[in-house]
Structure 1
Amino acid sequence: MDYLNFMLFGNTIFEYVMLIVYIFLGVIAGKVLKILIEKYAKKLVGKTKTVWDDVVIDAVKLPLMIVVFAIFFRYGMLSLNLTPNLITLVNESVNVVYILALLIFTLKFVDDVFIYWIIPRAEKSESKLDDQIIPPVRKLLKIFIVIGGILLMLANLQVDISALLAGICIGGLAVALASQDTLENFLGGLIIISDKTFLIHDWIKWGGGEGVVEEVGIRSTKVRTFGDTIITVPNGDLVKTEVENYSARRKRQVKTTIGVTYSTTPEKMVKAKEIIKDILDEHHGVVDPIRVSFTEFGNFSLNIRVEYFVREFGFDYFLTTVDEVNTKIMTKFRDAGIDFAFPTQTLHLTNDDDALNVNFIGEREQ
């Protein structure tokens, strides 16, 4: 086995084989560590009442595998005969890997804190504002963590961070001036959140569409339409246009016209209005103002204008209330002998000088 002692780039073949063995052992050790964490550590922390140990265990698995592999790789590389520059490069590279593992752990830990602790508490609260603030804060926090991790890596590689930050600030200013739309959308998102223009799950209508708000992001707002599609609207557009928030209303308006036949007597007209008014007054879902008035001599009907409001307990409650009111009006009108009007025409036939004249009275609705 003299070939193992063959020199290549200042090291024997045996030393290169040992490097491969170290790398292989690093992979195996990482896998074994992961299995031990999932099989034993997870079961152990699962018996505790606090959620924090579960969060830590869940976040530490992958970083620990990376660190273990980096340790074995480092020992394998340093077992070779390397130049001082290469040794420095190996040490700095492994340190960068350590920082990467720490970055992955921090991102996962922060994300799990939102998932297991912050979001469940926000869902239990009555306020919708926290539901709206959490998504953009969660994204911004991740961005800051990534930026911090990258700066640490660069500092470990002996990069001048102060000069880099100065360049980033100047470049960021130039980019901000060049991309005013992005800045406008970001500021628009802050305005929407601070002004509480609308909240998550609110039903809104604006110049470009209508739907239910699902997420208010850093740049845009996602709205679920009633056709079950998603519209992504730039925040700047929503700030500049009129937004009608249907979810902010306290009651829903109903405005309709009920037509009765021209054969209805004045006494029955008064009775019809009393019937409608009593039904609206007695219904638990109807609130003031209630207006019932004989307003118009129509083409084929005497028209009663009816206006009232329904308590805001959702669209299904609104439909049920209107349905019950209309059904009661039909029943009471039938019992009182009051007839609903419908489009009609009356023909008067006369016979003058053996010629048939037909006169139409009234108009037919098309």
Structure 2
Amino acid sequence: MGGPLFRQLLADNTSAHWLSALLAASVFLVVLYFLRGVVLRRLQRLAGNTDTLIDDFLVEVLSATRVLLASVVSLYIASLFLELPTGLQKIVDRTVIGLMLLQCGFWATRGLDFWLRHRFAQGDVNETGAREMTRSLLSFLGRVVLWSLVALLILDNLGLNVTALIASLGIGGIAVALAVQNILGDLFASLSIAIDKPFVIGDFITVDDLMGTVEHVGLKTSRIRGLGGEQIVFSNNDLLKSRIRNYKRMQERRVVFAIGVTYDTAEPALKTIPDLIRQAIEAQTAARFDRAHFKGFGAFSLDFEAVYYVREPDYNVYMDAQQAINLQLVRDFAERGIGFAFPTQTLHIASAPTLTDMAQGAENRPSPASDQATAS
């Protein structure tokens, strides 16, 4: 079919037609790129001098103009100077409209990315990971919806029955949804994570007995870098069903620790121990004292319990404070002669009879003959 159409195209057009078409395409292409450059430069200068977003948005969108699509439009302008067969004219019209829809898709995608970047660029510095995670998920979903719409418009431009296609896809979609329900569950779970934000990239969390720092939140899985350096991969759906502890969102860390002293510690020394613990805790700038008490009587120690708060959630800060408190208590107890208890057990043995006692017992024991006489 292409052969007869091409021969008819050559027969219906003279060299003047071809020269006019070539000149029109060249002029249009040059003018288009000249105007594009001038407009972009002016918009960029305007964007640098103003705080409005409209000029920035226009610069971003115009930057997405593709060279190939501009060339196709110039060729369409050239076709207006030629006598095209009916069949070829229809093909050209549909091709140009389809490519223009494709270019509109590029513009819309760039505009969507610009809006999402601006929308999630502002906020608390501590929520940067949450904003980036939400932006990436919304950008992906927006692209899927946008390009699906562009594909449907292109198919409709090509003459396909889009209504019947959508209906058939709807029926088939039910079967596909049943087959991939686990994947869809993870997809909706990722949306829930993006909207509700139980954790974000950079948070240190524990899931059951696993712990690590969140590295990536995807459409199906989330990845955590474990303490040992390994990467732990969770299904998003299973992750939301678990009990998650987010340690990065702690404002303070509550610490409970216990010490035990020996049972031979005198009462005056026992009374000073809570004060010694309080002084050791208050000496740490990162710690806030809560309480210290003589808790009870252990199996081998007199038990004291203390509670304090670390003003920072960092685990290293907590360990540094606890180490300093322990060292201070060791020094204070040594100065006052207070001993730390350790597991001990005292065995009490009743006094055993001596050889003299055993001999005297034997002498005082009646003989068998006397026992018989007494019985008669």
Give TM-score, length-normalised by structure 2: 0.71
Residues 115-136 of structure 1 deviation map (CA, whole Å, 9 limit, x = unaligned): 1x21122446979976664443
CA shift in 2, pair 1:122/1:219, >3 Å: farther
Amino acid at match of 1:272: I
Q: Whole-Å Cα distance in 2 between the matches of residues 72 and 127 of structure 1?
A: 45
Q: Whole-Å Cα distance in 1 between the matches of residues 141 and 20 of structure 2?
A: 45
Report which stretch shifted further, 278-287 or 166-175.
Answer: 278-287
> What does residue range 1-366 of structure 1 map to in structure 2 within 5 Å?
10-11=9-10, 32=34, 35-63=37-65, 65=67, 68-115=70-117, 117-123=118-124, 133-192=134-193, 197-199=198-200, 201-207=202-208, 209-214=210-215, 216-226=217-227, 231-247=232-248, 249=250, 251-258=252-259, 264-280=265-281, 285-288=287-290, 290-293=292-295, 295-296=297-298, 298=300, 302=301, 304-311=303-310, 313-315=312-314, 316-339=316-339
CA shift in 2, pair 1:306/1:132, >3 Å: farther
User: Contact 2:278–2:289 at 8 Å: present in 1 too?
Assistant: no
Q: Whole-Å Cα distance in 2 between the matches of residues 113 and 328 of structure 1?
A: 56
Q: Whole-Å Cα distance in 2 between the matches of residues 56 and 230 of structure 1?
A: 42
Q: Whole-Å Cα distance in 2 between the matches of residues 22 and 327 of structure 1?
A: 88
SS at match of 2:64: helix
CA shift in 2, pair 1:323/1:36, >3 Å: farther
Q: Whole-Å Cα distance in 1 between the matches of residues 291 and 338 of structure 2?
A: 25
SS at match of 2:44: helix
User: Contact 1:189–1:217 at 8 Å: present in 2 too?
Assistant: yes
User: Contact 2:248–2:313 at 8 Å: present in 1 too?
Assistant: no
CA shift in 2, pair 1:85/1:307, >3 Å: farther
Report which stretch shifted further, 210-219 or 14-23.
Answer: 14-23
Larger radius of gyration: 2
User: Contact 2:261–2:302 at 8 Å: present in 1 too?
Assistant: yes
Q: Whole-Å Cα distance in 1 between the matches of residues 123 and 219 of structure 2?
A: 19
SS at match of 1:172: helix
Q: Whole-Å Cα distance in 1 between the matches of residues 254 and 179 of structure 2?
A: 47
Amino acid at match of 1:165: I
| CA deviation after TM superposition for structure 1 residue 102, in Å | 0.9
Mark the runs of 5 or more structure 1 residues left unpaired by the alignment.
1-6, 345-366
Report which stretch shifted further, 103-112 or 58-67.
Answer: 58-67
CA shift in 2, pair 1:10/1:151, >3 Å: closer
User: Contact 1:222–1:232 at 8 Å: present in 2 too?
Assistant: yes
SS at match of 1:121: coil
Residues 136-175 of structure 1 deviation map (CA, whole Å, 9 limit, x = unaligned): 3332222211111112222222221211111121122111
Give TM-score, length-normalised by structure 1: 0.73
Q: Whole-Å Cα distance in 2 between the matches of residues 342 and 89 of structure 1?
A: 93
Report which stretch shifted further, 89-98 or 15-24.
Answer: 15-24
User: Contact 1:30–1:64 at 8 Å: present in 2 too?
Assistant: no
- Report percent identity of matched pairs: 23
SS at match of 1:254: strand
Q: Whole-Å Cα distance in 2 between the matches of residues 105 and 20 of structure 1?
A: 28
| CA deviation after TM superposition for structure 1 residue 178, in Å | 0.7
Amino acid at match of 1:114: L
CA shift in 2, pair 1:78/1:225, >3 Å: farther
Q: Whole-Å Cα distance in 1 between the matches of residues 69 and 89 of structure 2?
A: 18
Q: Whole-Å Cα distance in 2 between the matches of residues 24 and 229 of structure 1?
A: 59
CA shift in 2, pair 1:243/1:51, >3 Å: same
SS at match of 1:120: coil
CA shift in 2, pair 1:123/1:256, >3 Å: closer
Q: Whole-Å Cα distance in 2 between the matches of residues 312 and 164 of structure 1?
A: 61
Report which stretch shifted further, 54-63 or 282-291.
Answer: 282-291
Amino acid at match of 2:319: L
CA shift in 2, pair 1:73/1:217, >3 Å: same
Amino acid at match of 1:234: S
Aligned Cα root-mean-square deviation (Å):
4.0
Q: Whole-Å Cα distance in 1 between the matches of residues 229 and 27 of structure 2?
A: 52
Amino acid at match of 1:102: C
Report which stretch shifted further, 31-40 or 86-95.
Answer: 31-40
Residues 260-285 of structure 1 deviation map (CA, whole Å, 9 limit, x = unaligned): 56775454344334311444467662
Residues 231-254 of structure 1 deviation map (CA, whole Å, 9 limit, x = unaligned): 442211113333233345554343
Greater share of residues in strand: 1
Mark the runs of 5 or more structure 2 residues left unpaired by the alignment.
1-5, 345-376
User: Contact 2:130–2:199 at 8 Å: present in 1 too?
Assistant: no
SS at match of 1:211: strand
| CA deviation after TM superposition for structure 1 residue 230, in Å | 5.2
| CA deviation after TM superposition for structure 1 residue 327, in Å | 3.8
SS at match of 2:309: strand
